[in-house]
Structure formats: structure tokens, C-alpha cells
Amino acid sequence: MFKGTFTALVTPFNQGRFDVARYAQQIGFQARHKVTGIVAVGTTGESPTLSHQEHHLVIETAVRVGHKAGLKVIAGTGSNSTAEAVDLSRHAQRAGADAVLLVNPYYNKPTQEGLYRHFKAVARAVTIPVVLYNIPGRTNVTMTVPTMVRLARDCPNITTVKDATGNLDLTTEAVAAGMTVLSGDDSLTLPMMAVGAVGVVSVASNIVPGEVRKLVEAALAGNFTRARQIHKRIFNLCRALFVETNPIPIKTAMALLERDSGEMRLPLCEASHANCAVVRQALAQIGLL
């Protein structure tokens, strides 16, 4: 189920509150461009500043609207507290999510044994698939391939990893070990697919879902000439969307395109004037402004 393009949706706010209507519009935009699915309440969705009640509402909205539109829904339910991750994952399953996405526990820096026990506990608390999320830039810990393989061996619902390590050696090793790998970095989707990844959890597809989908489809079909053409076309945009901490640039871009209010919650704040100009220029370069 994890082959293809999954959009890591932003969480829209209106005067500080989750904007359900805008979120539904954004999901509809994804469906019209025929992505495979959406990820609700990931890093891009500002998960750290949502209350549990809001977290539940965002996931419930994603499932209700996304499934009606024919999209698969992956719910971000990770935490640095195993008990909290279990609770959020059980809610996502009850809400009807197709899978949960679990980031490596952050700040407390568990060992590989701690990572194994954490993910095993969550995987055994639910029956839906669990997608591991390896992003050392956010968590300061990297899950090794042997730990992934151990989890996949002991937990039938763990087969997939979202790889945002920026390390093609790790990607290659994970694929060789039998893991399903999704790119967690838009600018690296093409090279990661060249070594065996089968799709992407994309930030850029919030605004160019059709382009990202076509890149992934071309790469899956072995047409790397076509995939490379699309990669070159959107590369500067992908880089611009990380000129500051995600999701600041993508929310800036969506506000410029009048598809989001651009509101964020502290401690995130608006982009600098210089970086707003970088985002604007990248949008103009591909004809969106």
C-alpha cells in the first residue's frame, strides 16, 4: 500500500484554531491531482503544538475526507513517550487510518534496544501497519538497519520506513534487507528511488502534487530520463521549501498561492523577508506566481 506519493499535509489555522474547512479543501486538491495518499499530523502538520483533542480531530477529518476522495491516510502518532504513542496510535486505528507513522523518540535519545522496545510496544498495540520514521536531524538518533530488520521480523505490521537520513548507503542497505523505503526528503526522492525506494512522503506535493506524482510514477516505471526531467524542474522549489525550518517555508508558499492562511504556532514564526523572497522566486521560476 505504500508505493507512490503521500503528501505530508500542513495543518491550516484560522486565528489560532484548526481550520477544518480549509483542511478539507487541501485534501480535495490532493485528490484531484491523484496522489496515493496523505499524511496527517506529521512534522509538516505541526504535531508538537497540537493538543490531543486537536490531534484527534485532524486525524478524524483526514480519514473522513480523505477516504471519501479515494486517498489512503497515514496518521502521524509518534512521541518520545511510548505510552502516548500507543494512545495516539490506538485512536488513529479507531478513527479508520490506514497506517500510523512513528518518528524516532526525540530528546530522550534511546539506544537501539530502546528504539526496538518502543516501536514493538506500539506495533503490538494496533493491527494496522506501522511506518517507522528515521529523521536524525529532528531526533538526534538514527535507527540502524539491523534494528529495523529485527522489528520487521518480530512485528508483522512493520515493513516500511520513511527515510529522512539523507544517507543513500542506509537507504540501499534497508532495501537490500527487505524493507519498503519511502523518501523523506523531496530533493532526494529521485536518487533514493534509483537505489530501491518506492515513493515519497512529500512536503512539496502540498503545492505541486501532480509534478511529484509524475516523478514517482516515472521512476517506478524505470523511466529515469523522464523522472530526472521533473526532478530538475522542481529541484529549486524543493530546496527553497527547506530554507528555514519545515513547515515555515511551505506555509509561506501556500499563503502566497492563497491556499493557506500561513498561520503557525509558536515557537514557529513567519519566515524572514530574505527567505520569503527565496520562496517567492522558486514559485515564480516554475510558473506558479
Q: What is the pTM of this model?
A: 0.96
Considering only CA atoms, which of 123, 141, 155, 131 is closest in space to residue 39? 131
Exposure b/e, 101-129, CB count within 10 A at least 16 = b: bbbbbbeeebeeeebbebbbebbebbebb
Question: 107 — alpha (psi -120 to 50), left (phi > 0) or beta?
Answer: left
Per-residue pLDDT at 226? 98
Phi/psi for 198 (5° steps) reads: -120, 15
Per-residue pLDDT at 180? 98
| pLDDT tens figures, 2-32 | 999 999 999 999 999 999 999 999 999 999 9
Per-residue pLDDT at 73? 98
- pLDDT class of 216 with cuts at 50, 70, 90: very high
Per-residue pLDDT at 1? 82
Asked whether the beta carbons of 191 and 172 are under 8 A apart, the reply is no
Per-residue pLDDT at 287? 96
- pLDDT class of 83 with cuts at 50, 70, 90: very high
| pLDDT tens figures, 239-289 | 999 999 999 999 999 999 999 999 999 999 999 999 999 999 999 999 999
Distance CA 43, CA 47 (A): 6
Average pLDDT, the chain: 97
At residue 228, does pLDDT exceed 90?
yes
Per-residue pLDDT at 15? 95
Per-residue pLDDT at 138? 92
Distance CA 75, CA 96 (A): 10
What's the fold here for domain 4-221?
TIM Barrel (3.20.20)
Catalytic center residues: 133, 162
| pLDDT tens figures, 159-214 | 999 999 999 999 999 999 999 999 999 999 999 999 999 999 999 999 999 999 99
Q: Where are the domains of the chain?
A: 4-221
Per-residue pLDDT at 14? 96
Per-residue pLDDT at 32? 98
Q: Cα–chain-centroid distance for residue 70?
A: 18
